[in-house]
Chain A
């Protein structure tokens, strides 16, 4: 994983893409308006455990939002409350402008949910269970739509199979099909690609992108940071029940454009000489190394002049290396410090 998600960073950090053709021409205000609005949400479980602490979060219409966080951070709890599976202890959630408690019918009919755990029927056929979901959400029969969903998820040839005879990855896709059966405007994917092989994972990303192009808002949780990098428009990080960061991916990626130059000095120095004071330099390891942070996207990195000034100051070094921070570094940092 690690090496993979370092490689394609630069290609992702370009300017914001124009919306792909086919995105409905809503006014900018409508596009930017939030489809989910979570305000001061807290959750205390019966055991007394506080799983969410005053969470505030807005999801924009039409975006793909990735929620990252370590095990037990509260991702599933947050999703469960928005979808009506758990009761909030405090706070308010609006979905499409409707309160999830007082106007639950309208709110819930907008949402498709793919939970983290594999909860499926056993003896029903794939077709029957997906059609059941559509009925449950009050939609009239539409075999053509169900067919399309099953085909998109490569389940068409399994449509008459009993669910119990499917593999784990197929079952997960059945759950996605159930969530899509009623044409939701919002799709929650709680770790959609856990246990799904690499090829199918890519296929699923494709499905998710197509959905986004048709106007569906997607909220996904994942432990694969590459997945967030690959898919999301915005990224939120949650830890111990608190949202610690919400940022556009491109902004985050810009931060990732930062590189660090480490110079291993031949001899220790006590302090920086006068002519180096205007650099963002840090003296580490008791004066054995110099650390310089620079922006690869900047007009100039300043490396050339730094090296020149080092020579002028008579500072020599044995070795140098550069490192690039990844989304994972940011993530790990955040989680450690929060």
Chain B
């Protein structure tokens, strides 16, 4: 194991985060605060309670997931896309380092960043609404699992993308809609039965449901199913990455 190489990539990526601190941390915090103002205060005041918690409190796990998902994808995809774009990837490819180690460095850094971000948003939310977390360990476990899984997913997008549009396309066209429709702002029990069935095809529903359970013990689907689905997605990402490196897809001629 070339642990120095993993460390070098990890620290390099983290340094990029600190350099772009404003964009990395401040902007998601600002936008989350805006969600609270709009959904929590303005609209939420007209919705009574959802399954026993106030609307403002109810949307906190969904909001965190929204940011963690999008930021994991953005960080990891950009992290590997940029060296491809500038050509500095030559150095990674010529280094005595295994694919697993490369992934560990890039995905580790991207996941770290979005976990920190998730916790910052959680703290921000605490300023707006009363919060209590029933299962803090599970909460962290879901947070880490989601951050890692979607950083892997982002890594795949970053390798696949051969232009900046493609880099933006999947997050914009797929992930954001799925997250909004995934029960960030409502319980899917509120949907009519047909739409409820459709919603269950959305993987994000499972993430948010499990994460919300760790806060309030209210669920859309059972916790075991949530964990199972997340891990299944993680495994799919790992298999795709294994295939990418085995074939050199979009990395090597």
Contacts and interface: CB of A to CB of B under 8 A. Distances in A.
B34 to A, nearest CB: 29
Contacts, number: 79
Contact of B96 (A106, A117, A122, A124): A106
Contacts of B253: 45-46, 80, 85-87
Contacts of A83: 93-94
Interface stretch (B36-44, B82-90, B217-225): B82-90
A221 B56 CA distance: 65
Interface string B184-213: 000000000000000000000000000000
Contacts of B167: none
Interface in B132-189: none
A188 B15 CA distance: 29
A120 B86 contact: yes
Interface residues of A, number: 35
Interface string A108-119: 110101010101
B252 A137 contact: no
B interface: dominant SS? helix
Given A108-B95, A136-B97, A138-B2, A85 B90 contact: yes
Interface in A124-182: 124, 128, 132-140, 178
A72 interface: no
A115 B2 CA distance: 23
B92 A136 contact: yes
A121 interface: yes
Interface of B: 2, 4-5, 7-9, 11-12, 15-16, 19, 86-98, 248, 252-253
Interface of A: 45-46, 80, 83-87, 104-109, 111, 113, 115, 117, 119-124, 128, 132-140, 178
Given A106-B96, A111-B94, A133-B91, 18 more contacts: A45-B253, A46-B253, A85-B90, A87-B253, A105-B2, A105-B98, A107-B96, A108-B96, A119-B87, A119-B90, A122-B86, A135-B8, A136-B4, A136-B95, A136-B97, A138-B4, A140-B4, A178-B91
